[in-house]
Amino acid sequence: MQPQDAISSPNQSASASRSKLSTWGRNVFFCALCTTGAVAVAGFLMDYDPGTRFSTLAKSSLPTASSDNVKSVTATENAASKVSPIKLTIDRVDAAFEETWRDADLKVADEVDHLAYARRMSLGLAGTVPSLEEIRVLESVPANQRNQRWLEHLLEDDRTSLFLAERLTRAFVGVDSGPFLVYRRSRFANWLAKQLKQNVPYDQVVRHLLTDTGTWTQSPAVNFYSKAVDQNEDKNLVAPVLMAGRTSRAFLGMRIDCLQCHDDFLGNVNLGDPDDPSGGLQTDFHSLAAFFSGTGVSLGGVQDSQEPVPWQVQLLGDSDESDVPPALPFLRNLDGGESNARVRLANWVTHPKNRPFARSIINRMWAIVYGRALIEPVDDIPLAGPFPKPLEIMVDDFIASQYDLQRVIRIIASCKPGRLNSRASFEITHPHAQSFAVFPMRRLRPDQVAGAIVQSSSLTTINSESHILDRLMKFGSKREFVERFGDPGEEEFVQRGETVTQKLLLMNGDMLSDRINEGIHSVVHLAALSPDAEKLLETIFLTVLSRRPTTEEQAHFMSSIDATTGDQRKERAQDIYWTLVNSMEFSWNH
């Protein structure tokens, strides 16, 4: 994709499509922000002193990823001391990719600059684009530290933990509202965000999900169960079939739902014995479901029944139902035999020798960051492989680090595929894309599009430190946009073509027009506060596309704004912004 080809000339219909915020909302917003807004805007356009606002990004002593003394933030010092330096693991992952490219005789794309890296990692980890404020700080640090500084900045930002928590929440409980009264999705997602921010070991997080008891408000992890409660049943028991399917897909990266009704040939292996190519059995699925047969919901929340509740199923070929006892679907030698069924299952799922557990979350985190998983579909990983060598290196490291998820993110974001260009001087073939010899171009998901629009229309960084009105406007406009754009739900990594409705929403929707016209930091104020037309154009490109205009783009757009002043310059600035947001470059990760 050539950037200049993706940008059309200003569209005259843009002005007609823009609507106004309500009078009261506009007045409240301006009263709150206009006192300091103009000064801030002028500062961001010119040289910017961050002070302590972005301490991680600005501090001069932060080690880089190439330093031997980099340590991941782990739950215990013992865990950190038992694993290899993170640089060594990154080097091993890079060497594995390079071996793959060399064996397949594939050319490799060049590396991108710091702004392109910052944009793709911001979209992948925080669901937004860098602000102009952040870009100014990033470019003030030494060039050889910028990528690692940006990564550390993202990992400390609440936007990242919230965004990643939403991605995992979709995998764990889906996107719909669930049973009335007994399910609190937002409470679950916020709890998960806190675990990610504190870097609680991933196996501990999953143990909470599988074993916690209590109410869905006081013990948020139990929403994993209350989401699956069957309120049509007198005893309000969770649905074992739903829980078995969810557990296998979310925590093991395996789709075994089809075994609910019949035996099937899954991944050329028998679930009970990977060396037996006879396939999976219906009893494998229902033996897993039986672990949940005694879990229900009462006024006291999610609890296990006092007496055993047998799981009764009419298996294919049988005339009557029969009791199916709890049994593990594979690696049964890891069964600890604990008396509590859910504890027994949780210990098996998170066992260090149960590699599908580690493999599943690493493959999903790779998909979140890159937009495409190492093994697709993201939740359908063959039990017996084959597995990409880089994945297995990361699995070994993850287990050795006692399931340090932030360390995994650092490795994924720091390895060579994350720095490669999505374009190349050679023909990009399917093998290039499959082996990540080029960065995968992926259409942004609706939440990423919304996050990018909100941030690109503000010079200041919209995060947890922002004014409450900024955050409220961001939340409301993003939610409405995603609903109208179309939420892919749990299948968010499946690429789909853009619809006419989606394109019209970008071109004529209220979210974009409101962000262009309103707010002390919005594009409508850039023209009045920019010292000259050249600085105005650079600012629009940096805020929207996270890069500066090319020579051709500079000549094209300067011819339309250089001689303008006042309201005419404002309109031209709005048209340029509108044009860039509606370009292919804006709506794709590359």
469 closest CA partner among 19, 33, 22: 33
Contact 539, 557 (CB under 8 A): no
CA–CA gap between residue 420 and residue 417 (Å, rounded): 5
pLDDT value, residue 525: 67
- Amino acid sitting at position 26: R
Specify the pairing of strand 322-324 against strand 311-313: antiparallel
Comparing 230 with 365, which gets the higher pLDDT? 365
CA angle 230, 233, 237 (to 5 degrees): 55
pLDDT at position 67 is: 38
Whether residue 319 has pLDDT greater than 80: no
Taking residues 317-333, what's their average pLDDT? 84
Q: What are the structure tokens assigned to 215, written together?
A: 């109410």
Q: Which of 47-56, 234-243, 488-497 has the highest mean pLDDT?
A: 234-243
Q: What's the confidence (pLDDT) of residue 435?
A: 97
Length of the chain (residues): 590
- pLDDT tens, position by position, 188-199: 999 999 999 999
- Give the three-class secondary structure for 164: helix
pLDDT of residue 522: 60
Phi, psi of 186 (to 5 degrees): -65, -40
Contacts of 74 (CB under 8 A, 6+ apart): 80, 199, 201, 401, 402, 404, 407
Is residue 139 over pLDDT 60?
yes
Say which residue, 49 or 552, is predicted with more confidence: 552
Give the bridge partners for 273, in sequence order: 270
- 76 pLDDT more than 60: no
Answer whether 166's CB lies under 8 Å from 133's CB.
Answer: no
Q: pLDDT confidence of 29, banded at 50, 70, 90?
A: very low
Residues 6 or more apart from 384 whose CB is under 8 A from it? Answer: 267, 268, 269, 274
Helices 551-561, 533-545: crossing angle, 10 deg rounding: 130
Q: What is the pLDDT of residue 457?
A: 81
% of the chain residues with pLDDT over 90:
51
**pLDDT per residue as tens digits for the range 79-130:** 445 678 999 999 999 999 999 999 999 999 999 999 999 999 999 999 999 9
pLDDT tens digits, 453-503: 888 888 788 887 766 666 656 666 667 677 767 677 677 777 776 776 777
Task: Look at residue 7 and tell me whether its pLDDT is greater than 70.
Answer: no
pLDDT at position 261, please? 60
Pick 215 or 54 by higher pLDDT. Answer: 215
User: In angstroms, what CA-CA distances link 147 with 114, 368, 434, 548, 589?
Assistant: 6, 18, 24, 18, 17
SS3 sequence, 282-301? Answer: HHHHHHHHHHHCCEEEECCE
Mark 381-403 as b/e (b = at least 16 C-beta within 10 Å): bebeeebbebbbbbbbbbbbbbb
Kindly report the pTM of this predicted structure: 0.86
pLDDT tens digits for 386-413?
999 999 999 999 999 999 999 999 999 9
Q: Is the pLDDT of residue 11 over 80?
A: no
| Other beta carbons less than 10 A from residue 96's beta carbon | 18
CA angle 553, 370, 69 (to 5 degrees): 105
Locate all alpha helices (DSSP H) within 282-404, ordered by sequence.
282-289, 341-349, 355-370, 389-400
Q: Which SS3 state, helix, strand or coil, does residue 280 take?
A: strand
